[in-house]
Amino acid sequence: MDVQRAVPKTVDAYIAGFPDTVQVCLRKMRTTIKRAAPGAKETISYGIPAVKLNGPLIYFGGFKAHVSIYPMTTTVRKQFQKALSPYLSGKGTAKFPLDQPIPYTLIELIVKFRVKENSAETDKTNK
């Protein structure tokens, strides 16, 4: 019988549910995202941390052997194709194995790119 974990209500609670090694990576990922997207709001969506600024910006999650960011939009995949290629999993996920250095600089660049994407979309909608 599968036992479902309760969905955390806050990002802090989500992070606290992981072993220390994963928590360290998730905290650094969270800090990296916040630095790249000042003014963004955090929430839990689909059971994982979501960051929103002019709409959904990026989601991140922790697992036993990796941490991930979502979604890798088509434009993000094209823009960062070479840098992301070792990490792509499926259409919309980048998995960063915990036994390798996490590319926080790449995550920061992706978030900054997503901020611009969302801002441009908002500008189009408001015209």
Confidence band of 2 (pLDDT split at 50, 70, 90): very low
Tens-place pLDDT, residues 96-115: 999 999 999 999 999 999 99
Crossing angle of helices 104-125/20-36, nearest 10°?
40
Residue 123 predicted with pLDDT over 60: no
What was the pLDDT predicted at 91?
Answer: 81
104, 111 Cβ separation under 8 angstroms = no
Residue 126 predicted with pLDDT over 60: no
Class of domain 11-119: alpha beta
Give every CB contact of residue 113 below 8 A, 6+ residues apart in sequence: 75, 76, 79, 80
Mean per-residue pLDDT, 80-103? 93
The domain limits of the chain are 11-119
| CA neighbor of 42 nearest in space, from 28, 57, 32, 27 | 57
